[in-house]
Each structure stands twice: as C-alpha cells, then as structure tokens.
Amino acid sequence: MNSEAKGYAMGFSESIWSDPVEYLRSVNPNDPVMFLSPAALQTQAQRFLDGFPGLVTYAVKSNPDEAVVDNLAAAGVSGFDVASPEEIAMIRRLVPDAALHYNNPVRAKHEIVFAVGRDVASYSVDSLSELDKLFALVPTHRENGERVEITARYKLPVAGAAYDFGAKFGATEELATEILTRVAAAGYTPSLTFHPGTQCVDPQAWDAYIRAAKRISDAAGVRIHRLNVGGGFPSHRVQAIVPSLDAIFHLIGRVTEEAFGEDAPALICEPGRALVADSMALATRIKGLRDDNHVFLNDGVYGAFSELPLMGAMDRITAWSPEGVQREGDTRRRTVFGPTCDSVDRLPGETPLPSDIEEGDYLLVQGMGAYSVATNTRFNGFGALAVHMVMDLSV
C-alpha cells in the first residue's frame, strides 16, 4: 500500500491501496467501506468526453464525494448539473471555473438569488410560474457578458427507463413551446432539455425526445442554441448485461443531424449514474447467517443499497474471508437483510452467493458508485460508511 498515484486527485493524507481485498484483509473493517478507483473513474469520464458528440456535464447528485468531483475535473469534465445552493457552492469551491447548470426546475427565490451570485450559466424550467421567478431575479447577461441560458424541460410518455422521470418534471410539448417563445423574447439564450429516466436501456427514448425538440423549436419559431439530452445513460448493474454507451452516443448524434439538418443545436449531456457507478465497489460484512439461511449484512437499504428496492438487485458480487481468500462454493440464492430492525430493510429478490460463505466474511459488490454514498443514512445507528482509494477495483 501507500504507493502514490500520479495524476489522480487525492485528499491530503489519503493513501491508495492496490485493491479492495488488500484493504479488507489488512484492516478487517466492521463498518461498510466504499472503494473508489480514480483510474476507473477517469477512464469512464474519458469514454464520455471522447464519445459523446457535445459537452459532457456531471450530475452532482449521483455522487457528491469530493474525490469524485476532483477526479472528474482532472479528467477534463468542465460542466456540472447542480440542483441546490449546497451543490453550487461545492462545485464553485472545488472547480472554480466550471460551468454551472442549475437544472432543478423548481427553486425558492432565495435559491435563485444565491445562484445568480455564483454566476450560474444555465437554468432549466418546466412551468410559467417558475419562469416568471427567473425573469424577475436573473439578469439576461452574466458577469463575462455572455447571455444566460434558460432551457425548457419537456417530457414525453416514453418507456424504457428504470423509472419515469416525467412523473415529477417536464412540460408538455405545448407548454415547452410557450416557455421557449417567452425565453427568446425576454433576451435569454433559448434551449431545450429532457431526461429520459435513469438507467435507460432503450436508446429509442433519445430518438423520440430529440425529434420532439425539433417540433417544439419549429412550433415556437425559435432556433434553439443547445439541446441537453439529460442523464439516464445506463450502467453495468448485472453480470449478463453490459450496456453500450457508444451505440447511444452514435444514435444521439445521428438523430440530431437527421432532425435538425444544418440548424442542429449544440448537444449537452448530464450523466450521473453512468459516469460514476463503475468507479466504486462496496464491501459489506456478514454479521450473521441466521440458522445458515438468511444473510444479515452491516449495510442495507437505508445505507449504500438505498436504491435497490426501486432499481432491482445487483449480482456482480464476490465473497471473501477475513484473511482475503475468495469463497468459491457453488452459487446458492439467499434472502439478504440489512442491519436495521425495519422489515423493509432487505435486498430485492434472492441474491446469488457462494454456498460456503461464513459469518465475518466480506461481500464485494461492483458498480456501486451511483446513488449510494449520496443517499446513505444513519438510521438505527448504522451507516458509518468510509470511502478509501484503490488502484484497481477488480480482484
């Protein structure tokens, strides 16, 4: 251990371990541990920067760990999708020159005032009431003389994602047309945005949304400056399915050209999940094997597994003895519970695990970087989740 990684952003006193198992057998932690690989994170950022045909911004909410933000910035990510004054302040502090896109369509007036004071470049909106608040509080031009961008967020009834983002935000095409017309008339830069829903495995969702953007801009008679195609890019959650980001990037570029021709707007994406999920693995310890049947872990749905009831189980799991020896028994599916006394604290379905696991073993779960450290709670006194750096997540 303690080899210094060059080119990766690290905390001042942080040392980097070679892989998670080296840490587990050396420290035998009793609380759950999240392992971050700066190398894996920067490689994935590079995949987006090289492959996406436009500006790549990062949706901070998916993992606001400062080392994550630092490493994305080091890889060349220069724009951030933020949703609150807290996120705005953090990005301004860590990445002072970043472009801030405040894409939470409903904001209190004091939040808008805060954003203006931090030179936010772009705001999304999905209603006339919230648009009027922006008109009243946001000057048309930024400190550097550039126009402030306002993007109308619209929604379509499209399936394909793990859950429906249109249920909370997004204007109809008619309302988006009205918003776009008013934004242009008021002297802001007019743009459009959508979010196809998180873990969206159907590329056709982007196809339908991009063509709708053309209809909206035509109906408004407004040439849109940019089209933000959202987050929603899928991550590798289960062994059998490796989603192809390149196919989605290619489709987005092709359909934008087909729909808009010469007048194509610049593209932006704002991935959260697909950028960070594979940069972290979770180690959770088996507290008990109740009568050799149910598995009780020291982490659960009030901790790093918070989105599993919504998103479904994950199966890229290996098991390790406290001495760092991998359990290799035949696969047996078991019911797995988290540590709290709440009966909803169980993983969905049954989890495939080696049959020879024992109390005190560690389960190492890959693909845990998104919506895990951010939503971890201290419910029932659990949730002491540490983050440590590793060179390599694979073991």
Ligand X SMILES: *Cc1c(COP(=O)(O)O)cnc(C)c1O
Contact footprint for ligand X (CB under 6 A): 59, 61-62, 81, 103, 195, 198, 230-233, 270-274, 370
CB 346 → ligand X: shortest distance, Å? 24
Between residues 79 and 271, which has the closer beta carbon with respect to ligand X?
271
Between residues 195 and 237, which has the closer beta carbon with respect to ligand X?
195
Which residue minimizes CB distance to ligand X? Answer: 231
CB 276 → ligand X: shortest distance, Å? 8
Between residues 274 and 283, which has the closer beta carbon with respect to ligand X?
274
Between residues 57 and 351, which has the closer beta carbon with respect to ligand X?
57
CB 97 → ligand X: shortest distance, Å? 21
Q: What is the DSSP string of 35-86?
A: EE-HHHHHHHHHHHHHHSSSEEEEEGGG---HHHHHHHHHHT--EEEE-SHH
CB 274 → ligand X: shortest distance, Å? 6
Between residues 155 and 273, which has the closer beta carbon with respect to ligand X?
273
Between residues 306 and 340, which has the closer beta carbon with respect to ligand X?
306
Q: Which two tokens stand for residue 191?
A: 């743009």
On whether the CB atoms of residues 195 and 230 are closer than 8 A, the answer is yes
The Cα 369–Cα 272 span in angstroms is 10
The Cα 71–Cα 45 span in angstroms is 9
Between residues 59 and 301, which has the closer beta carbon with respect to ligand X?
59
Q: What is the DSSP letter of 338?
A: -
Between residues 248 and 347, which has the closer beta carbon with respect to ligand X?
248
φ and ψ of 82, to 5 deg: -120, 155
The Cα 82–Cα 286 span in angstroms is 36
Between residues 42 and 193, which has the closer beta carbon with respect to ligand X?
193
Kindly tell me the number of DSSP H helices and DSSP E strands found in the chain: 11, 18
CB 104 → ligand X: shortest distance, Å? 7
How distant, in Å, are the alpha carbons of 89, 90, 151, 356, 365 from that of 118? 8, 11, 19, 55, 38
CB 197 → ligand X: shortest distance, Å? 7
- What lies within 8 Å, CB to CB, of 64 at 6+ separation is 87, 90, 373, 374
For the chain, state the CA radius of gyration. 22
CB 235 → ligand X: shortest distance, Å? 9
φ and ψ of 6, to 5 deg: -95, 135
SS3 per residue for 153-181: EECCCCCCCCCCHHHCCCECHHHHHHHHH
CB 356 → ligand X: shortest distance, Å? 36
Q: How many CB atoms lie within 10 A of CB 231?
A: 27
CB 381 → ligand X: shortest distance, Å? 29
CB 265 → ligand X: shortest distance, Å? 17
Q: What is the DSSP letter of 244?
A: -
Reference 383, options 306, 310, 302, 308; nearest CA is: 302
Between residues 56 and 274, which has the closer beta carbon with respect to ligand X?
274
Reference 19, options 365, 367, 391; nearest CA is: 391
CB 280 → ligand X: shortest distance, Å? 14
The Cα 277–Cα 368 span in angstroms is 5
Between residues 61 and 182, which has the closer beta carbon with respect to ligand X?
61
